Structure 1
Amino acid sequence: MDELADRFFAAVSAGDVATLTELYAPDARIWHNDDNAEQTVAENLRVLRWLSRTVEDLRYEDIRRHPLPDGFAQQHVLRGRLAGHGALEVPACLFVRVREGRIVRIEEYVDSAATSALRAVAGGRGR
């Protein structure tokens, strides 16, 4: 599970859509607490691609990962620099369910105040 998690977060940081597509099950769903909405894989990949292009020096730090019977939970701080806004720090927690070696569901919890600069840069489009 650690290898899958490491590959996933490295691919997000690098904007590696090919690896992310390989790691997601085709029917995976990604839910976010700040908008209470689910994304399809295609929708999530668009956001992750945008994130990797928009945030300079995008990285995950202060990682605490916990195994679960069907996946893992990870707490971390997403850090980087956002043009016109300076340093970005987004504490987050993800619950990731895995089946047959692929991610089938992510439930992501973030503090919406910490993502306000991202929403501003996105022009209010949200996720």
Structure 2
Amino acid sequence: MSSEIHPNIQLLDRIIVAAEAGDPADIFNVYAPDAVIWHNHDLKEQTVEENAKVLVAMDRWVSDRTYSDRRVTAYDGGAVQRHVLRGTNRSTGEEVTLHACAVITVNDEGRITRLDEYFDSAEAAKFSAH
């Protein structure tokens, strides 16, 4: 059994590093230029640029962001990841959690063309400034 990490899992790892750091620079290398990010709570698609702005804003709202309890299944053309995002709301000091699932589609060049993210909007609301 190989100990190599599947390339599609490495893409998800890079998104997590960017999200935890509040620095979206690398996501432009992870996503294809025309990639879309969709969220179940509003049924809208975002561009990579719009998603990068959310990562920066998240840093203003929530400190000590960590992704835990990751369960990832990779396959040709994509991957599915369940995780828990944890942090501290900067304005309230409250510890917050967001249980989520992300499904990615990866092109032949090894870049994400689509990310569908599913999460509870009530949990997500605790992450923003009050």
Give the structure 1 partner of residue 4 of structure 2: none
User: How do 1:86-105 and structure 2 match up within 5 A?
Assistant: 86-99=94-107, 100-105=109-114
Deviation of 1:19 (Å) = 0.6
Partner Cα distance (1:17, 1:75) in 2: 21
The percentage of counterpart residues that share the same residue type is 43
Give the structure 2 partner of residue 114 of structure 1: 123
Count of matched residue pairs: 121
Are 1:49 and 2:42 counterparts?
Answer: no
Amino acid paired to 2:83? H
Partner Cα distance (1:118, 1:4) in 2: 24
Normalising to structure 1: TM-score of the pair? Answer: 0.88
With 94-103 and 46-55 compared, the bigger mean Cα shift is at 46-55
Contact 1:85–1:117, Cα closer than 8 Å, also in 2: no
Partner Cα distance (1:24, 1:15) in 2: 17
Contact 2:38–2:46, Cα closer than 8 Å, also in 1: yes
Unmatched segments (≥5 aa) in structure 2: 1-7
Contact 1:58–1:80, Cα closer than 8 Å, also in 2: yes
RMSD: 1.4
Normalising to structure 2: TM-score of the pair? Answer: 0.86
Pick the structure with greater CA Rg.
Answer: 2
Contact 1:60–1:76, Cα closer than 8 Å, also in 2: yes
Give the structure 1 partner of residue 33 of structure 2: 26
Contact 1:65–1:74, Cα closer than 8 Å, also in 2: yes
SS at match of 1:35: coil
Partner Cα distance (2:88, 2:114) in 1: 28
**Runs of 4+ in structure 1 displaced over 6 angstroms?**
none
Q: 2:19 aligns with which of 12, 21, 27?
A: 12
SS at match of 2:37: strand
